[in-house]
């Protein structure tokens, strides 16, 4: 028995509602189970319970055993003086609050299949614990859950952007620049890319906006990727430029080359290529976030991020030597869409929250609805289970579900998990 199951049963009102009595045999009527408290203090606030002939309004605490009250030191905590009912699975002690009052206790009675369903889910050693039961959950219900999951994901990304905004002293262009740089790392090199952007202020790059070589010199130099012995004239020019500009702007905190990962990356995803693309984007645009705010159309947004590195990179993936055939290293449409999903939409949503602009918030969500679904192992898994992914709206929600619920086996907090837990054995048989 886990306490989380009791919380779930209480909150979802899945207990037997009739014939409830306290451990002192007083009749109990649950008028309102209260509101779940996720912070310190009693588990449920503002509950209403009728014990005997008295209607009590107060808080409810839930434990597996009554003695957990003392194990958690609630008897010494004034915050628990407001508890009017102690709900337990096993009553092995009477409980008293800090002020000495004896607290009524209720042994929660509930259908046994709920616990069996939960144990079955926990025994599953598959990526999606409820995979075999998803067909029993109506698709319209899953769609409804996706809306909440997407809101959760945007809220989490907004929190990260808020922190970035704080670090950049409320400078939206700088904040967007660092956030964009992080996402240019495409997961593998995200931390290194963010550290690079933090070490090189946007206003320094802006002063050299018209000179692509100088922008490359600053980025590759701060990234720690300029070779100690330049193998060709271009690398030598970049090194000379960086030496001068580093001294001019007193740049420090240069990254160590070891922070960048190349292992198991395709050459087109090497950090050198991504930095060259990022340099080309900085070179071709100024005040990028302001332009994004002015460009509502998805086609215009995609064009804003279309960038082609300097000619040197048509035959290079690193500074180690030229490859055989020339190949343009322009940022591909799929990469641009990933940036729109992970950078543009969350930044728009965060900015809209600051401005109190609901229309701009809706525009951020519409952008995800207009973008095609992402392609990755997680989305392939959901598709194999019959979950239809029509847009980035769906895939972002499903990524949130997998990462924050399925991977943690947090079925208790998942709405799909709720459906699966509540299904009676005969219901499952009838559905099949």
Residue 429 in this model has a pLDDT that exceeds 60: no
Which is it for the CA torsion 380, 385, 391, 395, positive or negative? Answer: negative
Helix axes 172-184, 345-355, angle to 10 degrees: 160
Instruction: Kindly state the DSSP code that residue 305 receives in the 8-state scheme.
Output: T
Does 296 score more than 80 pLDDT? no
Q: What confidence score (pLDDT) does residue 427 get?
A: 52
CA 411 to chain centre: 17
Residue 341 near residue 371, CB atoms below 8 Å? yes
For 334, counting Cβ atoms within 10 Å of its Cβ (0-12 exposed, 13-18 middle, 19+ buried), the class is: exposed
**How far apart are the C-alpha atoms of 415 and 420, rounded to whole Å?**
9
For the stretch 127-184, pLDDT in tens is 999 999 998 899 899 999 999 999 999 999 999 999 999 999 999 999 999 999 999 9
Q: Does the pLDDT value for residue 14 go beyond 70?
A: yes
Q: Which pLDDT value is given to residue 432?
A: 44
Q: Which of 430, 382, 374, 372 minimizes the C-alpha distance to 405? A: 382
Check whether 1 has a pLDDT greater than 90. no
HSE-CB of 383 using CA atoms within 13 angstroms: 13
Show contacts of 330-338: CB within 8 Å, 24+ apart.
330/277, 330/306, 331/277, 331/280, 331/281, 331/305, 331/306, 331/307, 333/302, 334/375, 335/186, 336/302, 336/305, 336/306, 337/302, 337/371, 337/372, 337/392, 338/183, 338/186, 338/374
Please report the sign of the dihedral spanned by the C-alpha atoms of residue 172, residue 178, residue 180, residue 182: negative
Strand 105-107 and strand 83-90: pairing? Answer: parallel
Predicted confidence band at 286 (pLDDT cuts at 50, 70, 90)? Answer: confident
DSSP 160-205: HHHHHHHHTTT-HHHHHHHHHHHHHTTTTTHHHHHHHHHHS-HHHH
Q: Among residues 375, 364, 290, 287, which one has the least CA distance to residue 338? A: 375
What's the pLDDT score for residue 426?
Answer: 61
In a 3-state reduction of DSSP, which class is residue 380? helix
Q: Is the pLDDT of residue 344 over 50?
A: yes
SS3 372: coil
What are the beta bridge partners of residue 62?
Answer: 87
Beta-carbon contacts of residue 403 (< 8 Å; ≥ 6 apart): none
C-alpha 188/C-alpha 269 separation (Å) is 10
Q: How many helices (H) and strands (E) does the chain have?
A: 19, 8
Per DSSP, the three-state class of 276 is: helix
pLDDT at 430: 47
Question: To the nearest whole number, what is the mean pLDDT of the chain?
Answer: 93
Mean pLDDT, residues 182-208 taken together? 96
- Indicate the burial class of 138 (C-beta count within 10 angstroms; 0-12, 13-18, 19 or more): exposed
Query: Reduced to 3 states, what is the DSSP secondary structure of residue 155?
Result: helix
Asked whether 178 and 198 are in contact (CB, 8 A), the reply is yes
- Closest Cα partner for 88 from 62, 60, 51? 62
Contact 24, 66 (CB under 8 A): no
Quote the pLDDT of residue 276. Answer: 97
Q: What is the DSSP string of 6-23?
A: HHHHHHTT-S--SS-BBT
Which DSSP category does 313 fall into? G
Q: What's residue 253's pLDDT?
A: 84
Residue 422 has pLDDT above 90, yes or no: no
- 301-334 pLDDT, tens digit each: 999 999 999 999 999 999 988 887 888 899 999 9
pLDDT at 428 over 60: no
Under 8 Å between Cβ of 369 and 391? yes
């Amino acid at each position: 028995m886990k306490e989380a199951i009791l919380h779930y049963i209480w909150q979802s009102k899945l207990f037997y509602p009739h014939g409830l009595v306290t451990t002192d045999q007083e009749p109990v009527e649950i008028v309102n189970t209260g509101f779940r408290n996720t912070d310190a203090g009693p588990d449920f606030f503002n509950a209403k319970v009728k014990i005997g002939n008295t209607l009590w309004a107060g808080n409810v605490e839930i434990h597996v055993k009554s003695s957990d009250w003392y194990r958690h030191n609630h008897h010494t905590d004034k915050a628990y003086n407001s508890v009017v009912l102690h709900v337990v699975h096993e009553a092995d002690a009477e409980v008293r609050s800090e002020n000495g009052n004896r607290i009524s206790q209720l042994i929660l009675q509930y259908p046994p299949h709920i616990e069996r369903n939960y144990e079955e889910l926990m025994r599953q050693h598959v990526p999606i614990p409820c995979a075999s039961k998803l067909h029993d959950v109506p698709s319209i219900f899953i769609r409804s859950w996706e809306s909440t999951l997407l809101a959760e994901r945007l809220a989490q990304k907004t929190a990260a952007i808020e922190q970035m905004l704080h670090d950049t002293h409320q400078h939206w262009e700088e904040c967007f620049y660092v956030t964009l740089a992080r996402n240019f790392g495409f997961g593998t090199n995200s931390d290194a890319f963010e550290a690079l952007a933090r070490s090189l202020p946007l206003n320094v790059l802006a002063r050299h906006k018209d000179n692509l070589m100088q922008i490359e010199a600053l980025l590759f130099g701060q990234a720690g990727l300029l070779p100690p012995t330049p193998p060709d004239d271009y690398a030598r020019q970049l090194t000379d430029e960086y030496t001068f500009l580093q001294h001019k702007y007193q740049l420090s905190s240069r990254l160590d080359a070891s922070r960048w990962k190349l292992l198991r990356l395709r050459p087109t995803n090497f950090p050198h290529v991504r930095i060259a693309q990022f340099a080309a984007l900085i070179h071709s645009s100024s005040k990028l976030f302001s332009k994004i705010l002015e460009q509502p159309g998805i086609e215009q947004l995609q064009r804003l991020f279309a960038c082609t590195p300097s000619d040197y990179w048509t035959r290079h993936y690193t500074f180690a030597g030229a490859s055989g055939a020339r190949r343009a290293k322009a940022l591909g449409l799929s990469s641009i869409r990933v940036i729109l999903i992970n950078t543009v939409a969350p930044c728009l949503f965060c900015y809209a929250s600051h401005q109190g602009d609901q229309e701009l918030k809706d525009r951020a969500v519409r952008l995800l609805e207009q973008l095609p679904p992402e392609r990755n192992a997680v989305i392939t898994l959901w598709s194999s289970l019959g979950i239809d992914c029509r847009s980035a709206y769906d895939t972002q929600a499903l990524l949130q579900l997998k990462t924050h619920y399925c991977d943690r086996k947090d079925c208790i907090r998942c709405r799909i998990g709720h459906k699966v837990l509540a299904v009676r054995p005969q219901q499952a048989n009838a559905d099949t």
